[in-house]
Amino acid sequence: MSEIVQPSPIAVPLGAVRPLLLNWRRHVPLLLVAPLLIYMLVLYALPVLAMLLRSLNDPNWTLSHYAALFEDVVFAKTFWITFNTSITVTLGCLILGYPVALGLVRAKTMAPLILVIILLPFWTSVLVRSYAWMVLLGRHGLVNEGLIALGMIDRPIRILNTTLATQIAMIHILLPYMILPIANALRQIDPSLIRAASGLGATPFMTFRQVILPLSMSGVAAGTLLTFVLALGFYITPAMVGGPRDITLSMLIAQQVDQLNWAYAATLSAVLLATALAILAAARHLPGVGNAFKTSMR
């Protein structure tokens, strides 16, 4: 590239105009993305920035909003609930998702069907799915009726509007984000490695422990990261099916915006964003995750 940029001796008297004209082609990619870039800048990035600025300059320039968070009991509790829910949901997705990813990769003729079943909820809106869980988990919902019919309980138990309900619904919604990166990593394992392990004396379980699991860790890391960061920002589902005391950060933000408490909402948003970015940045340095990023870019 650099030798093209250097002006030729003839071009020197013309100043910088000539190389500029010669190199307009280099800017074609930029021109192609410019419309979307401007759209996003004006309608998304600037408002977000303006919102975040309110945590610093409302009513005048100050760090007091951030300082106040350290003594804010409501914030501490909300932050803890959000983190706790995200960790539980991520672990749930991992435990339930890994075997499915394994099955998806192992299945030959069934694979397209399994993939559709995994993706079907993916194409339905979160709102609709949350409503569905309200129906299923309600007092006279399918779950309660089923448990009564099986004789496991005598009368309906409270599932809807509990922490458990939030976790069940969030795991359901976030599962594809865990399954797909793991399945992707598993699919990239050379099948001859599995044969080699078996031929060298490893039982199926030993092959899984020593070959399949370590080689799928990049997918596990990518899926865990994705699920956890998405879970941190969940709003609709905990608001609809969660317990009255299970207030997550995004619910608190919405509440504060409703009360026109902009500075506080902005401060909370900044903290949530910073947390998510910090986790992503830290995770990049974990072994295997960097590769997962590169793989998903391809």
Q: Residues interacting with another protein, by CB under 8 A?
A: 190, 192-193, 195-203, 206, 210-211, 214-215
Tell the smallest beta-carbon distance from residue 220 to another protein (Å). Answer: 13
Q: In the structure encoding, which two tokens stand for residue 227, read together?
A: 């699920």
Select 8 or 192, whichever has its Cβ closest to another protein. 192
Select 197 or 225, whichever has its Cβ closest to another protein. 197
Select 71 or 190, whichever has its Cβ closest to another protein. 190
Tell the smallest beta-carbon distance from residue 206 to another protein (Å). Answer: 6
Distance separating alpha carbons of residues 279 and 100, to the nearest angstrom:
26
Tell the smallest beta-carbon distance from residue 190 to another protein (Å). Answer: 7
Other CB atoms within 10 A of residue 58 CB: 16
Distance separating alpha carbons of residues 39 and 94, to the nearest angstrom:
37
**Integer angstrom CA distances of residue 17 from 1, 24, 268:** 18, 11, 49
Select 243 or 290, whichever has its Cβ closest to another protein. 290
The percent helix, strand, coil of the chain (3-state, each to 5) is 80, 0, 20
Residues 6+ apart with CB under 8 A from 53: 266
Select 196 or 282, whichever has its Cβ closest to another protein. 196
Select 42 or 196, whichever has its Cβ closest to another protein. 196
Q: In the structure encoding, which two tokens stand for residue 203, read together?
A: 């039982």
Angle between helix 163-187 and helix 289-297 axes, rounded to 10 deg:
70
Tell the smallest beta-carbon distance from residue 105 to another protein (Å). Answer: 18
| Among 183, 186, 208, residue whose Cα is nearest residue 198 | 208
Query: Strand, helix or coil at 120?
Result: coil
Tell the smallest beta-carbon distance from residue 217 to another protein (Å). Answer: 9
Tell the smallest beta-carbon distance from residue 203 to another protein (Å). Answer: 6
